[in-house]
Amino acid sequence: MSGFVVWFTGLSGAGKSTLAALLASALRGRGVHVEVLDGDEVRTHLSKGLTFSREDRDTNIRRIGFVAKLLARSGACAITAAISPFRAIRDEQRAQAGRFVEVYCCSSIEALAARDPKGLYRKALAGEIKGFTGIDDPYEEPLAPEVVVYTDRETKEESLAKILATLEQREYIAARAASAVQLSSLAAPHGGHLALCRVAGERAEALSEAARALRVIELDAESEVDVELLATGAYSPLEGFLTSKDWLRVFAEMRLENGLPWPVPVGLPVSDDVARDLRPGAEAALRSRDGRLLGVIDVSDVYCPEELVRGRTMVGPFGEADPEMLRQRARSRLFVGGKVRVFGEHALRNGVEVRTPAETRASFEALSLRFVAGMRTRVLPRRAEEHVARMALDVAGGLLWQVLDGSDRVPLPARLSCHEVLIQKYFPAKRVVSTAGLGGFAVGSRAAIVDAIVCQNHGCSHVVLGQGTNVDVRDAFRLFAPGELAIVPLVFDDAGFCSATNSMVTARSVPEGAAMATLSEAEILDKLAASEPISGDVVRDEVVGVLARALTTTDGTNVELATRP
C-alpha cells in the first residue's frame, strides 16, 4: 500500500506521544513500516536551536512535515506527535502530504492540569509561566479532523481503536483477518457485514472531481441523513436508495427484494425536471442543502410509488393507516433507486462526535463488552431516562447511549453534554459508550424496527424502544421469525420518582394513592427560563447545571459540564 501521514495534534499532556507509540506498535504488528516523529525528540535534533517564537514554531512544524512527506512518499507511515498549535501550518502539511489523517487529542484544561506531574498547567494558570500553549498562548483547534479522541474520558484502547478504524475505512491499511474473528463476539451486522458506502483517499478525490460534471439531485434534510447512515454502514445491508422492487416489498411485507427484513422505504425523492434526465445506468451527483457535493448515485430506476401500488390489493402489515407509509407517499411523487458512493460527510459531524458502527464496535471490543443495549434518544436525560438506561445496562452488561437531535430549544452539543455529565458521575465508565447520532425521520412501529437494526449494526445485542407499554412495537417484532433480527427489544414502562417509596416506580409498581414526580422536557426548560427550581427527583442537579449554561449561549457549543453545588 502507499504511504501516509498520521498527524497528532493537541495540547501538552493530551496523550499525543502515548497514542503515537501505541499506534506505531499496532501498525508494525500488521506489517506496516512506521516512523514516529515526536515533537520533543525533533526539537533536540532536527530543530535544535529553534525558540518558541511564532516564526520558529512554524519552522519546526514545516521540518516535521517535510520529513513526514518524504517517509510517506517512500511507502512508510509517518506518525507525528507535536502540539502544532496553528491551523494554517497544519493545513499546509496536509496539502503537501496527500494521504493525511489528522488526529485531534482533545482534553479539558482541568483534566490536563489534574494529571500534569510537573505542575506546569498549575503554574501557567497562576501566571508563573508565560507563553504556555492553551493558557496565554493560542492553540487553534482543528475544524474538521479525520479523528477526534477524547483523552480525558476515553481509555487508550478506545482511542486507538477509533484511529485504526479510520485508517481501515480509508483503505490506508488492510483490515486484519483477526478483526473478523474478534468481532464475532458481538452481534453481527444486519445481513452479515457492514455495508460501507463511503469511499476515501484517491478514490474519493477522483469521484468528487467526476461528480462536478454530473446532473445534480438536491437532497432534502431526510435524504442527507440517509446518505450519512448509508455511508457509515448504519443502514446495513442497504448499499443505496431502494429500487422500485425493494420499495414494493418493504411496503407490503417489510422485507427487501432479497428477503431480508427491512421496515422503511429509504427512497431518494427527485423532482420531475431532474427525473427526465435520469436513465438506468446513468450517474447523478448528490448535493446537500448547504451546496456541498456528498456523493454519487448509480441510477437503477426512477419510479412513482402511487403508480406502483395502483390496482394492487396491498395494505401492508399495519393497514391503510400506517403512519410511515402515509408519510412516505406524501413526501414526493418520484423517487430514484440505486447504489451510492459517498465522499462527503453530514454537516452534523463538524459540530459533535458521531461514532460510526465500526468505531462503536471497536470500543465495545476494547472494553470487553459482548452484550450491549442500544438506547437512541431525542429527549433530555431525566431521572426517568436514567432509570431505563440503568435497567438496560443491568440486562445486557453494556450500554450504547446515542443522543439524537431533539427540539430546537436545546442544541445537540448541549444535549450530548447533559448525557456525558450524567454518565461520568452516575454510571460505570467502562460499561457505557456515549455518542451523538443521526436519527431517521421514520415514524410508528416501522421506525422502532429501523432503530433496532441501526443499534444492531453498531454492535448491540439489545435495543431500548419507546418507553411505555407500546404493544405495536412488540407486535412488529413478532412479524419476523426468531433469529431474523439478531437483536432483543427491551420495552419499559415510563418511570417517575415516588416519595412514598423513595425510589423510581412505574404505573405498575406505584402504591395506590401515591404520585410519580415527573416533568416533560418542555416543562423543564420553561422552569429554567423562569428561574424556577427543578426537583432533583426529576432531573439531576448536574444536568440542570449544563442546561442553565446552554440556555445562556447562542448555539450550545460552549457548554461546560456543571458540577453539583
> Which amino acids are annotated catalytic?
84
Residue 374 DSSP one-character state: E
How far apart are alpha carbons 58 and 84 in whole angstroms? 8
Beta strands in 76-178 (DSSP E): 77-81, 100-106, 147-150
Burial of 124 (0-12, 13-18, 19+ CB in 10 A): buried
Q: How many residues appear in the chain?
A: 565
- Name the percent of the chain in helix, strand, coil, to the closest 5: 40, 20, 45
Decide: helix, strand or coil at residue 291. Answer: coil
Burial 240-274 (b: 16+ CB within 10 A, else e): bbbbbbbbbbbbbbbbbeeebbbbbbbbbbbeeeb
**Can you name the residues that pair with 496 across neighbouring β-strands?**
505
**Can you name the residues that pair with 67 across neighbouring β-strands?**
none
Give the type of residue at 167.
L
Instruction: List the one residue out of 249, 295, 233, 292 whose CA is nearest residue 268.
Output: 295
CA–chain centroid gap for 431, Å, is 18
The answer for residues whose C-beta is within 8 angstroms of residue 394's C-beta and 6 or more apart is none
151 φ/ψ angles, rounded to the nearest 5 degrees: -75, -10
Instruction: List the one residue out of 463, 474, 395, 479 whose CA is nearest residue 187.
Output: 463
Instruction: List the one residue out of 162, 223, 169 whose CA is nearest residue 194.
Output: 169
Beta strands in 258-378 (DSSP E): 268-270, 283-287, 293-303, 334-342, 373-377
How far apart are alpha carbons 112 and 117 in whole angstroms? 10
137 φ/ψ angles, rounded to the nearest 5 degrees: -125, 140
Decide: helix, strand or coil at residue 164. Answer: helix
Determine the number of helices (DSSP H) and then strands (DSSP E) in the chain. Answer: 21, 18
The answer for residues whose C-beta is within 8 angstroms of residue 316's C-beta and 6 or more apart is 251, 252, 253, 254, 322, 325
Decide: helix, strand or coil at residue 295. Answer: strand
- And the C-alpha cell for 338? 440505486
In contact, 493 and 391? CB cutoff 8 Å: no
